[in-house]
């Protein structure tokens, strides 16, 4: 367990490590920067904005970068922000931080909690909260940008800060790429990001070589039947019964058609049909989330979902095939194994070997994947965000702590911010090294 005092001792040794070649910020640099970054973090947390509506957040990022001497371009792929800091010849490294928040009612009780409500795209009033740590990611990235701008005599190359919109709707990265992220600006040699995690205590960073997060496909299915009176089912084709059979049959895709060596998930998240207990409806609508890592597994899952839906409808005598539509997709996050190991080797002397840990891949998703799909190797590391004492007590007592997207999730601010700045700046400096 790392406490702040231990962290201070840890990073002070980094100053000696960095004396000849600047490979990590020193403790005095991090300490001097912390009050400014903490204030930024709390302000961002108080004023979250939903995906595709991050106007004020984007303006805040752009202003911070301009003050640091970056060349700043706004409205990239919507509300995206790109800041470029050129500093002679050398590699080009891009860091991604997300701008958007979630429609969640905050229940953390912290002094800087969000009380924001707004209308979503459907015109419904919803609460808004940074329940996934994007405010932390932005603050850490600004801290990294600040240290690089203050120490231009100690590194060479090009640093690119990307404030990406709409990660929560997995469309922001693709939108920025389509708007010329790799053509209008220097194309990076490497893309890097951190993501906070409730699975590790603050002070630790976790790495996952290879597949780290899954493909995700949102699938809408409408099953068509023939409605009628609930007392005379023989005169109908009941889509609710077809839907029930279909849902159960879909569960055999993973258990009987996919190799046990290949992770896969088929989850039916919603089912809507009917209006009254004695009416058999004409149709039933279902929404699925489908997860995998490998492209061939993904293709099989989607094909099997349609095949089974068609077959169950035909078995019931339905006159019309189900409508099956993939409405939203994102690719799997793949951490370049060689680059991941290179960063692990660079971070272990900085954080201490015991604080750089390997973690298994997860079935959640992130459109950070699209930057690698577009041809640039990438690495995302997971930053522990839970207060270490609370994490240890929960672990011993079997308590499940609030996780990402929870109304009760909030990072331990000081240790998470300081460790995040240390990790991200050290990683960028390693990647900038020839």
Rounded-to-integer distance, Cα 103 and Cα 306, Å: 31
Is residue 125 part of the annotated active site? The answer reads no
Q: Which of 167, 196, 238, 366 is catalytic?
A: 167
Cα within 13 Å of Cα(233), Cβ side: 8
Rounded-to-integer distance, Cα 52 and Cα 204, Å: 32
Q: Which of 100, 283, 312, 370 is catalytic?
A: 100
**From residue 259, how far is each of 212, 238, 253, 255 by CA, in Å?**
19, 34, 10, 8
Give the H/E segment covering residue 67: helix 55-67
Alpha helices in 265-316 (DSSP H): 295-315
Rounded-to-integer distance, Cα 136 and Cα 114, Å: 14
Calculate the dihedral angle through the C-alpha atoms of 326, 327, 328, 332, rounding to the nearest 10 degrees.
0
CB atoms < 10 A from the CB of 18, how many? Answer: 18
Rounded-to-integer distance, Cα 114 and Cα 106, Å: 6
Burial of 234 (0-12, 13-18, 19+ CB in 10 A): exposed
Rounded-to-integer distance, Cα 173 and Cα 45, Å: 22
DSSP secondary structure of 118-187: EE-TTS-EEE-B--SSHHHHHHHHHHHHHHHHHTGGG--EEEEEEEE--TTTT-HHHHHHHTTTTTTSPP
Is residue 283 part of the annotated active site? The answer reads no
Q: What amino acid positions are annotated as catalytic residues?
A: 100, 167
């Amino acid at each position: 367990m790392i406490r702040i005092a231990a962290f201070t001792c840890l990073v002070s040794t980094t100053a000696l490590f960095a004396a000849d070649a600047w490979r990590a910020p020193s403790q005095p640099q991090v300490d001097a920067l912390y009050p400014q970054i903490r204030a930024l973090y709390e302000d961002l947390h108080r004023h979250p904005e939903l995906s595709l509506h991050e106007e004020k957040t984007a303006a805040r990022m752009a202003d911070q970068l301009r003050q640091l001497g970056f060349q700043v371009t706004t409205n990239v792929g919507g509300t995206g922000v790109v800041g470029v800091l050129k500093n002679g010849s050398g590699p080009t490294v891009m860091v991604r931080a997300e701008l958007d928040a979630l429609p969640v009612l905050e229940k953390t009780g912290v002094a800087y909690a969000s009380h924001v409500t707004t209308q979503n795209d459907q015109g419904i009033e919803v609460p808004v909260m940074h329940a996934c740590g994007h405010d932390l990611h932005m603050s850490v990235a600004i801290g990294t940008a600040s240290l690089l701008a203050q120490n231009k005599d100690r590194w060479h190359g090009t640093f690119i800060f990307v404030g990406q919109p709409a990660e929560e709707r997995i469309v922001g990265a693709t939108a920025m790429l389509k708007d010329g992220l790799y053509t209008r600006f220097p194309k990076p040699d490497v893309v890097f990001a951190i993501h906070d995690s409730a699975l590790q205590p603050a002070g630790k960073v976790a790495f996952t070589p290879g597949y780290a997060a899954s493909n995700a496909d949102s699938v809408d299915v409408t099953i068509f039947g023939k409605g009628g009176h609930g007392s005379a089912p023989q005169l109908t084709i009941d889509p609710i019964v077809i839907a029930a059979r279909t849902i159960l049959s879909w569960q055999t895709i993973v258990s009987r058609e996919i190799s046990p060596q290949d992770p896969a998930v088929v989850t039916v998240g919603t089912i809507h049909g009917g209006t009254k207990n004695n009416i058999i409806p004409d149709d039933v609508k279902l929404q699925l989330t489908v997860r995998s890592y490998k492209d061939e597994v993904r293709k099989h899952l989607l094909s099997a979902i349609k095949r089974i839906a068609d077959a169950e409808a035909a078995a019931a005598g339905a006159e019309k095939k189900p409508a099956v539509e993939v409405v939203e997709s994102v690719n799997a996050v793949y951490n370049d194994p060689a680059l991941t190991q290179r960063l692990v080797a660079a971070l272990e002397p900085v954080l201490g070997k015991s604080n750089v840990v390997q973690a298994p891949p997860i079935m959640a998703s992130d459109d950070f994947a699209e930057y690698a799909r577009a041809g640039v190797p990438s690495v995302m590391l997971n930053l522990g965000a839970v207060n270490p004492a609370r994490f240890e007590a929960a672990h011993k007592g079997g308590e499940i702590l609030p996780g990402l997207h929870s109304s009760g999730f909030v990072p331990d601010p000081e240790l998470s911010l300081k460790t995040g700045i240390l990790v991200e700046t050290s990683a960028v400096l390693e990647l900038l090294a020839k």
